[in-house]
Amino acid sequence: MGNITDLIKDVAGKNQIIETFAAKVIEINKETESLHNPEDAYTVNIMRADGAIIKNVRLKASILDLEQGIVTIPKKDSWVLATIIDGVETRAFVSQFSEVERTFIRFKNEQNQYLEINTNADKFQMLFKDKEDSTSTSTPEYKNIAQLEFNGNRSDSNISTTFYDADGKEISKNIFTVNEQKISINDGKTIFNLKDKEAKITIEDGFEAIISDVKTSFKKDSLTFEMDDKFKIDVGGKSLKTKLEELIDEIGKITVTTPVGPSGPPINLPQLTLLKGKLTELLK
């Protein structure tokens, strides 16, 4: 099929005929076996005004080059201008667009490092990655290095930055929204959430800490410790305050055996009752 670059050289050298016509995009041919992204698309199917259908119309110069290029993907059912060189449909390519669904650019250098820029109406993404060295003929593998992404969706607008280790595994991710910053470390095993007047730390094994202008709390499995205007210590649903109150109640019921029979209530029972009341000033 050749590249469009070579075809254009032939046109210039052989005075070939170029025909351009309007057509409707009826199918976007996704590259499900793409080396990089199954959402990539290098060709579309179009229908001319006379009803004739032309398949696999190019969106890039070389549809055989799967590792780099600049591609504009039109919206399905939108109108485009398609160009055919010397009447050969296999040489057809989209030359102008009316509506664009997505654009992606993929650069490659001599060190097999890549920069991908991927954008549509509500997202902009930049991804740096490199190709693993391999002497086999199997499908190449790529490792992410770093990523910057902006999501412009009004209900979930954010900017995120992600960094990866030498094996391409995520080691940290920062997400910035209007009112919050989220930092994820080691693929989500440790997460920091920073809001106005509040900081929250969550660790995968069940630890959580919250520090704010309202209260400070620490949780580890079934243990909860909170501080605001009072203290709260709770283990498995059993609070320290409740257990201390139960202890004071039991002390107030103490009687002992004497030569003349059981003793009466402790003579300091009023002080114990007063102490029990003061627990509510400290604990909840």
What's the confidence (pLDDT) of residue 106? 93
Overall domain count for the chain: 3
Whether residue 56 is found in the same domain as residue 123 = no
Whether residue 120 is found in the same domain as residue 201 = yes
User: Cα–Cα distance between 8 and 109 in angstroms, integer?
Assistant: 25
Q: How distant is the alpha carbon of residue 128 from its chain centre?
A: 16
Relative orientation angle of helices 240-252 and 269-282, to the nearest 10 degrees: 170
Whether residue 98 is found in the same domain as residue 113 = no
For 50-75, what is each residue's pLDDT tens digit? 999 999 999 988 877 778 889 999 99
**What is the sign of the dihedral through the CA atoms of 265, 270, 271 and 272?**
positive
Whether residue 85 is found in the same domain as residue 47 = yes
| Cβ-proximal residues to 259 (8 Å cutoff; 6+ apart), any chain | none
Does residue 118 contact residue 71 with C-beta atoms inside 8 Å? Answer: no
Whether residue 121 is found in the same domain as residue 163 = yes
Residue range of the domain that includes 265: 238-282
For 105-116, what is each residue's pLDDT tens digit? 999 999 999 999
219 domain-assigned: no
Residue 135 pLDDT class (50, 70, 90 cuts): low
Picking from 12-16, 130-134, 188-192, 194-198, which range would have the lowest pLDDT averaged per residue? 12-16
Question: Which CATH number belongs to the domain containing residue 47 in this structure?
Answer: 2.40.50
Whether residue 98 is found in the same domain as residue 179 = no
220 domain-assigned: no
DSSP string for 188-204: TTEEEEEETTEEEEEET
Whether residue 57 is found in the same domain as residue 135 = no
Note every long-range contact of 110-114, with CB atoms under 8 Å and residues 24 or more positions apart, other chains counting.
113/145, 114/67, 114/68, 114/142
In terms of pLDDT, which residue wins out, 212 or 4? 212
Whether residue 164 is found in the same domain as residue 197 = yes
67, 82, 102 - which closes a domain: 102
Does residue 126 contact residue 114 with C-beta atoms inside 8 Å? Answer: no
β 207-212/142-151 pair status: unpaired
Whether residue 95 is found in the same domain as residue 120 = no
Whether residue 155 is found in the same domain as residue 246 = no
What mean pLDDT value characterizes the chain? 88
Whether residue 165 is found in the same domain as residue 182 = yes
Task: Answer yes or no: is pLDDT of 247 > 60.
Answer: yes
142 domain-assigned: yes
**What is the sign of the dihedral through the CA atoms of 54, 56, 59 and 62?**
negative
230 domain-assigned: no
Model-level pTM?
A: 0.70
Percent of the chain with pLDDT over 70: 93
Whether residue 41 is found in the same domain as residue 113 = no
139 domain-assigned: yes
102, 120, 142 - which closes a domain: 102
Residue 229: CB atoms within 10 A of its CB come to 9
DSSP string for 23-77: EEEEEEEE-TT-SS-TT-EEEEEEEETTS-EEEEEESSS-TT--S-EEEEEEPTT
102, 121, 149 - which closes a domain: 102
For 136-186, what is each residue's pLDDT tens digit? 557 788 999 999 999 987 777 899 999 999 989 999 999 998 888 999 998
227 domain-assigned: no
